[in-house]
Amino acid sequence: MRELAEALSVQVHEFNTDAAAVRRMFSGRGIPEKIRDKLGQPFFTTKVVGQGTALGLSISRGIVEAHGGSLHLDPDCEHTRFVVSLPKTVALKKEVPATLK
């Protein structure tokens, strides 16, 4: 059975007066470059069939983008680190899908 990656740290940074970022770093050795472009695609997974739906990053990215932010993998981190950037004032850029309300 595959164990879940353990988070090493969660950090909140203020970029400037308009935006802030949350960085979550896991103990993994990083994500191979050949699959990085596929991250966040609905149903893309490296897990065996039947383990999860592979929708987590896709749904998370949609929620963050609906609030004017971005979610991305930090390619410069030696571990696996995702960065969520959000504006400090929230104005929805597009209508939130009914499934997320």
Per-residue pLDDT tens digits for 31-61:
888 888 888 788 887 777 777 776 778 888 8
> In this prediction, what percent of the chain has a pLDDT beyond 70?
74
The token pair that represents 20 in the structure block: 């802030």
State the DSSP string of 33-83.
HHHHTTTTSTT--SSPTTS--S-HHHHHHHHHHHTT-EEEE-TT-SSEEEE
| Per-residue pLDDT band at 3 (split at 50, 70, 90) | very low
- Mean local confidence (pLDDT), 12-28: 76
| Mean residue pLDDT across the chain | 76
pTM: 0.67
- CATH class, domain 7-94, is alpha beta
Is the separation of the CB atoms in 88 and 17 below 8 Å?
Answer: yes
Name the residue ranges covered by the structural domains of the chain.
7-94
| Per-residue pLDDT band at 1 (split at 50, 70, 90) | very low
Interatomic CA distance for residues 97 and 32, integer angstroms: 32
